[in-house]
Amino acid sequence: MNSQLPAAIGTPLDRIDGPLKVTGGARYAAEYRAEGLLHGAVVSSSITLGRILAIDSNAASAIPGVHWVMTHLNRPPLAADDDSYEDQDSADGSSFRPLFNDRVLYNGQPVALVIADDLETARHAAALVRVEYESRPHSTDLRKNQAEAIPAPAEPPGPRGDADGALCSAPVRIEAEYELPVEHHNPMESHASTVIFQSDGSLLVHDKTQGAQNSQSYLCQILKLEPSRVRVQAAFVGGAFGSGLRPQYQLPLAAMAAIKLKRSVRVVLTRQQQFTFGYRPRTVQRLTLGADETGRLLGLVHQVTGQTSRFEQFTAHVAQWSGMLYRCDNVRLTYRLVPLDVYTPLDMRAPGAAEGVHALECAMDELAWAAGINPLHLRLINFTDTNQNLGKPYSSKALRDCYSEGARQFGWPTQMPEPGTLREGDQRIGLGMATGVWEALQMPASASAALAVDGSVVVASATTDIGTGTYTAMTQIAAEALGLPPEKVRFVLGDSSLPKAPLQGGSFTVSSVGSAVREACLALRQNLLDAARQLPSSPFQHFSDDQVQCSDGRLQAKTAEHRVGFVELFQRYGSLRASATAHPSALRQRYATATHSAVFVEVAVDEALGTVRVRRVVSAIAAGRVVNPKTARSQIIGGVIWGVSMALHEASLMDHRLGRFMNHNLAEYHLPVQADIGDIRVLFVDEPDPVVNPLGSKGVGEIGIVGVAAAVANAVYHATGKRIRELPITLDKLL
């Protein structure tokens, strides 16, 4: 059966959830009400390392409206005393447990929770809690502690060939070190949990999360609760970028308080407290590249040093991209971690790739200028159809098309002017480019589809929508599979009671959940046909599956006038349902799968002030079949803006004497505003891929940021002749 409607996939459909968001109809975790709702305020540690000697909460408890001050001394039991639990995005080691004992592991750690009738009272009382500490010397500086580095548990691919030997004899060679700072996610919606204590003692939790089922599993494990007693919902999430992959500490704090008091409790973290959990870790990367006179890579060494906490070993794929993006037979990749007295880092948009590809693409630019080769041509010379880390061909790789079409629309010169020679008045003009890459994954996922009384279809999966357009994309996938207009499909998500879905991250939601939605809708379509064949004197008994199509809410024979509407089938049989679980196909195992991009940037650098303005960006993307070009374009634009921010603005600055982030607010944590962003042009190249998943879609959430900061840095070099290898590129470094 095939739909004769125009394909819903590939149509630039407006966001399904748009009207709710712009009218205030969408409710977020801190906006749900409950009778007798109490509010919690977290007390954060003022030391970095040591232990708590005493907590004086008398003044706080005396405030009218304060119900309880929870500490490690009086909290409900935590089941995780044996470190036996983990969440879907946990790192190796012992996960942090709030209010577990008297130990202080990092600055800003929660040491108490004040519960009161309203938020203002809770925060006032929290300021009156006095904590006496025994402080110990701490270490928080990656640079000063590199000698303590240990091998990362997730080692990069092993060496191939003789990288050191090839580099020694290479006619053209560059060696450079690149440093990237700590960055914090800073989504618009602060982390919050509203735990509604219900009459039967069960918990209905509204949590800011990228996985409702992950939050449910976490609570059940650490509080020894049956899954049937905990339901987590996250219908709307105001941005996350990875900060919601792991349950943050406001969730167990709110749940413990609700269980103890048998009342509904809400805990919302302040903007400052958003800086007291995961972040993009600081990295120092050393790259050595060698090439022959034509620019062909002969050897490559990429050494990464990153930071982690004392209690977990956080790892990301930082170095592996250098072994797969270009053709090179002699490669050595290393990845080491420095344990520090900080909280554990956390995945942040394109984790690992945003850092590792940045260093690689800056080094490639340096190699291009050292060899006297156009930076774009150098990348074409070293193009590969094979992922050499895996020894597998790519299922598709339209990167050449990204290069050619991106360069054409940008106006990339065939002959590059020398660095520092392009000027417009007092502005130095520079051009830069970089390649982007991200893995195209698929995870097991489930979905259900049910026919409604009006002939519409309700499709459901436990996935979330952190602003990526999941509601809309899944609606389009279901509409195409069932031959329905999108307005006749309702997609339900963000509920732990729905069919199982992976965390939303890694650009695999469309690939994973979308494939499950498609399978569930195809199964429902088959059920509809089977039901139609059971109708009295049904003509559909005489037609095979291939001779019947779904179109505009009806089953219709292709070669005859026989038809039956979904509404009639509902009236006859009630709600017909189907469910499905989609798994990666065995065919994928024979291939490497990835998205790719080519980013072209023009900057203007003020000669007197050293200020940098990104005037225009062209981002060309190869991401398989794009489900919704409109929302996908927005995803890439957001990634480009973040890449510009990464290059020129963002850094979490720590006073290492205190072990505390100093700019822990949106006034001093610099982000770009409208005036900082020039013209951004996004284009998607055609990239059919029957291997990656049945939809042929690779996802676009991560790829938008990868390579952008490198392209900006390379453009700044071209404008000024000065190479800045430490981000962000600020005017003091240029001057």
Contact criterion met (CB below 8 Å) for 70 and 115: yes
Domain residue ranges of the chain, discontinuous segments joined by +: 18-25+443-583, 32-137+188-240+244-275, 355-441+589-734
* CATH architecture classification, 18-25+443-583: 2-Layer Sandwich (3.30)
Query: What is the mean pLDDT of the segment spanning 544-558?
Result: 89
Q: What is the DSSP letter of 183?
A: B
Phi-psi region of 230 (alpha: psi -120 to 50; beta: other; left: phi over 0): beta
Residue 730 DSSP one-character state: -
How confident is the model at residue 2, as a pLDDT?
43
Asked, colleague to colleague, whether 32-137+188-240+244-275 and 355-441+589-734 share their fold, the answer is no
Amino acid letter for position 597: S
Digit-coded pLDDT (tens) for 136-194:
999 999 999 999 999 999 878 999 999 999 999 999 999 999 999 999 999 999 999 99
User: Higher-confidence residue: 390 or 2?
Assistant: 390
Q: Which of 493, 477, 533, 183 is nearest to 358 (CA)?
A: 183
pLDDT in tens, 102-139: 999 999 999 999 999 999 999 999 999 999 999 999 99
Residue 53 burial (10 A CB sphere; 0-12, 13-18, 19+): exposed
Q: Quick check: 449 and 478 in contact, CB under 8 A? A: yes
For residue 7, pLDDT over 80 is answered with no
Distance CA 441, CA 595 (A): 10
Q: Are 707 and 643 in contact (CB under 8 A)?
A: yes
For helices 629-648 and 708-720, the axis angle rounded to 10 degrees is 50
Question: What pLDDT is recorded for position 81?
Answer: 52
**Side-chain-side CA neighbours of residue 153 (13 Å):** 9
Q: pLDDT digits over 490-503, tens only? A: 999 999 999 999 99
**Amino acid in position 460:** A
* Span 584-604, average pLDDT: 98
| pLDDT score recorded for residue 80 | 56
SS3 153: coil
Q: What is the per-residue pLDDT for 4?
A: 43
Q: How many CA atoms lie within 13 A of 11 on its CB side?
A: 17
Tokens matching residue 278 = 């995961």
Phi, psi of 241 (to 5 degrees): 65, 20
Query: What's the CA gap between 267 and 254, in Å, rounded?
Result: 6
- Distance of alpha carbon 706 from the chain centroid: 12
Contacts of 348 by beta carbon, 8 Å cutoff, 6+ apart = 183, 185, 241, 242, 243, 278, 279, 280, 354
3-class DSSP state for residue 586? helix
Residue among 44, 45, 46, 50 at smallest CA distance from 138: 50
> Dihedral of CA 620/621/627/630: which sign?
negative
Task: Say which residues have a Cβ less than 8 Å from residue 100's Cβ, sequence separation at least 6.
Answer: 72, 78, 80
Task: Specify the DSSP class assigned to residue 506.
Answer: T
Class of residue 158 by CB neighbours under 10 A (exposed 0-12, middle 13-18, buried 19+): exposed
Q: Which residue has the tokens 């059920």?
A: 527
Amino acid in position 406: G
Task: Please determine, for residue 537, whether its predicted confidence score (pLDDT) is greater than 90.
Answer: no
| Residues 6 or more apart in contact with residue 610 via CB below 8 angstroms | 731, 732, 734, 735
Q: Three-state SS for 517?
A: helix
Q: What is the mean pLDDT of residues 21-45?
A: 97
In tens, the pLDDT along 267-292 reads: 999 999 999 999 999 999 999 999 99
**Phi-psi bin for 591: left (phi > 0), alpha (psi -120 to 50), beta?**
beta
Q: What is the pLDDT of residues 202-211, one digit of tens each?
A: 999 999 999 9
CA 342/CA 309 separation, integer angstroms: 5
- What's the confidence (pLDDT) of residue 562? 87
Continuous segment of H or E residues that includes residue 113 = strand 110-116
Q: What is the mean pLDDT of the chain?
A: 95
User: Could you give phi then psi for residue 49, rounded to 5 degrees?
Assistant: -150, 135
Q: Give the amino acid at 630.
A: K
Average pLDDT over residues 218-242: 96
Distance of alpha carbon 477 from alpha carbon 479, whole angstroms: 6
State the pLDDT confidence band at 3, using cuts at 50, 70 and 90. very low
pLDDT over 80 (residue 258) = yes
Residue 268: name the closest of 39, 460, 20, 46 by CA: 39
How far from chain centre, in Å, is Cα 463? Answer: 14
Residue 314 has pLDDT above 90, yes or no: yes
Per-residue CA distances from 148 to 65, 305, 311, 332, 532 (Å): 49, 11, 15, 21, 70
Structure tokens at 649: 């603005």
Grouping H, G, I as helix, E, B as strand and the rest as coil, residue 324 is: coil
Asked if omega into 728 is within 30° of 0 (cis), the reply is yes
- 680 φ/ψ sector (left φ>0, alpha ψ -120 to 50, else beta): beta
Distance CA 12, CA 351 (A): 28
**d(Cα 28, Cα 39) in Å, to the nearest integer?**
16
Neighbours of 657 (CB within 10 A): 10
443-457, 528-542, 706-720: the lowest-pLDDT one: 528-542
Q: What is the pLDDT of residues 650-692, one digit of tens each?
A: 999 999 999 999 999 999 999 999 999 999 999 999 999 999 9
pLDDT tens digits for 37-58?
A: 999 999 999 999 999 999 999 9
Q: Which of 175, 189, 702, 726 is catalytic?
A: 702
Percent of the chain topping pLDDT 90: 92
CATH of segment(s) 355-441+589-734: 3.30.365.10
Angle at CA of residue 440, ends 14 and 514, nearest 5°: 45
Q: Which pLDDT score is estimated for 426?
A: 96
702 is catalytic: yes
Residues of the chain above pLDDT 70, percent:
98
The span from the CA of 530 to the CA of 548, in Å, is: 11
pLDDT in tens, 371-394: 999 999 999 999 999 999 999 999
Interval 566-582 mean pLDDT = 95
Q: Is the pLDDT of residue 30 over 70?
A: yes
C-alpha to C-alpha distances, 426 to 422, 423, 614, nearest whole angstrom: 11, 7, 16
Rg (CA), the chain: 27
- 601: three-class secondary structure by DSSP: strand
Separation CA 487–CA 548 (nearest Å) = 23
Pick the CATH number of 32-137+188-240+244-275 from 3.20.20.60, 3.40.50.300, 3.40.50.720, 3.90.1170.50: 3.90.1170.50
